[in-house]
Amino acid sequence: AQSVTQLDSQVPVFEEAPVELRCNYSSSVSVYLFWYVQYPNQGLQLLLKYLSGSTLVKGINGFEAEFNKSQTSFHLRKPSVHISDTAEYFCAVSEQGAQKLVFGQGTRLTINP
Amino acid sequence: GAVVSQHPSWVICKSGTSVKIECRSLDFQATTMFWYRQFPKQSLMLMATSNEGSKATYEQGVEKDKFLINHASLTLSTLTVTSAHPEDSSFYICSARDWDRAGYGYTFGSGTRLTVV
C-alpha cells in the first residue's frame, strides 16, 4: 500500500523568501501525486498534480513541484511567499488503478512579516 | 472547474441524535465519492469510499453502522452519523473524483464541523 511522508510539520518563513515543502512517498507501483492547501475551517484546494509527462509541474498561486522518481519525492516550492500563503499544505498520492487518495501528515506554513 | 458542495458547513447536535451531511457534485457526475474525517491539527483520515448504486467500502476501524453512507445518484452522497456522541465531534470532508484537461483528480467539499454536546 502507498504511504506519504511530509518531513516537516511546521515551516516558518519570512515574507518574500523562497520556501520548499518536502514530500516523499512509498509505493510498489506507479503513482499520481497531488499537493493541496487548506485554510482554517475549509476544505482542500488543489495546488497542482502530477499524472504523467513533464516532471516539473506548475500550479496555482506561483507554486511548482518536481516529481523525482528515483528519490520518490514530490517537493513543493515557491520562489517568493506572501502572508496569504499561510495555511496547511498536504501532499497526497494515489496509486495507478486504485481509487483512494492517501495523505501525508501535513505541513503548516507560517509566513512572518 | 469541478465544484463539490457540502452542507451543512457546521452543525451542533445533542448526544444520541443523528446528523446527515450532504455532498453534491454541481457540474459533473461523480461515480465515486470519498468521506474523510479530520481531527484538529491532523491530516485527513479516509473513512469510506462510495460508488454510485453500490454499498460503500469502509476503511478498517470505521463503524459501518455508525457512519451510514448513501450514494443513490451520480451527484449526491450522504453521510449520516447515527446516535452521535461527543467523540464523534470532528471535521468531516467529502471528495469526488473528477476529470479536467490535465486528467483525473479529486475535488473536495468545504467540510462540515460537527459538534456533539
For B24-47, what is each residue's pLDDT tens digit? 999 888 889 999 999 988 999 999
Contact present, A109 and A15 (Cβ < 8 Å)? no
Between chains, do B113 and A104 touch, taking CB under 8 Å as contact? no
Rounded Cα gap, residues B32 and B50, in angstroms: 6
Answer whether A52 touches B (CB < 8 Å): yes
**A77 pLDDT exceeds 90?**
yes
For A38-60, what is each residue's pLDDT tens digit? 998 888 999 999 998 999 999 99
Between chains, do A100 and B111 touch, taking CB under 8 Å as contact? no
